[in-house]
Amino acid sequence: MGMIREEDVKYLEQEFSKHLKDNVDLVVFTSSSGECKYCKETVELATEVAAINNKIELKVYDFDKDKDAVEKYQVSKYPATIVSLSGDQNGRIKYYGIPSGYEFGSLIEDLKVVSNGDSGISSKAMEIISKVDKPVKIKVYVTPTCPYCPRAVGTAHKFAMVNSNIQGEMIESSEFYSEAEAAGVSAVPHIVINDSVQFQGALPDEAFAEYVMEAYKQI
């Protein structure tokens, strides 16, 4: 029995058929060290997703052995899942921790958005984000049971898609508990931008963009 239910596979077949335009890479970084709680499941989930449509290519790397790939994709921990256009190794759209529960929907949405190039960002938010010309990293701390988290993750990832200076990271708080605790996460979604600006909640993209600009001005 697979991780994705048969009825969900059929739904995704239709969704991908309608929305996937360009080929996309689904990249997973795992580890054979035995310390990774959900590495096996993350690979299984990505394998099942990639099997649904031939425009999705799965690539799996070992964090401990594939150091060139770790550097290219700028991966700092595992399991990590990255969505990018085929052949693009910038690693700007990341998931740290298994993208399960509500975050599985985020992963599916990212595949569609990256493939068809339609971010859906408002013109006002786009105007703000376009001013970012220095590296900005957006971390969105989540839990799989949080129904509001996918919106925050989606916004961060869309910002990363439209501006090459921005990285968007989903971080599963329970898998990376010490990191979340150090960041002061008490409720999710909890967003940290460049480790200098923080806020909670799934805000409209214009308000989210204003926080990104606040962090940018502190660089």
The domain that holds 20 is classified in CATH as 3.40.30.10
Inside any domain, residue 154: yes
Same domain, 58 and 131: no
Same domain, 91 and 150: no
Q: Which domain holds residue 71?
A: 6-115
What's the 3-state SS for the chain?
CCCCCHHHHHHHHHHHHHHCCCCEEEEEEECCCCCCCCHHHHHHHHHHHHCCCCCEEEEEEECCCCHHHHHHHCCCCCCEEEEEECCCCCCCEEEECCCCCHHHHHHHHHHHHHHHCCCCCCHHHHHHHCCCCCCEEEEEEECCCCCCHHHHHHHHHHHHHHCCCEEEEEEECCCCHHHHHHCCCCCCCEEEECCCEEEECCCCHHHHHHHHHHHHCCC
Same domain, 108 and 85: yes
**Residue 33: which pLDDT band, with cuts at 50, 70 and 90?**
confident
Same domain, 106 and 138: no
How much is the pLDDT for 139?
98
**pLDDT above 90 covers what percent of the chain?**
96
Give the mean pLDDT of 172-196.
96
Whole-prediction pTM? 0.96
How much is the pLDDT for 35?
83
Inside any domain, residue 1: no
**Residue 119: which pLDDT band, with cuts at 50, 70 and 90?**
very high
Domains of the chain: total: 2
How much is the pLDDT for 177?
95
Q: For the segment 45-84, what is each residue's pLDDT rounded down to a tens digit?
A: 999 999 999 999 999 999 999 999 999 999 999 999 999 9
Inside any domain, residue 40: yes
Residue 187 has pLDDT above 80, yes or no: yes
Same domain, 93 and 140: no
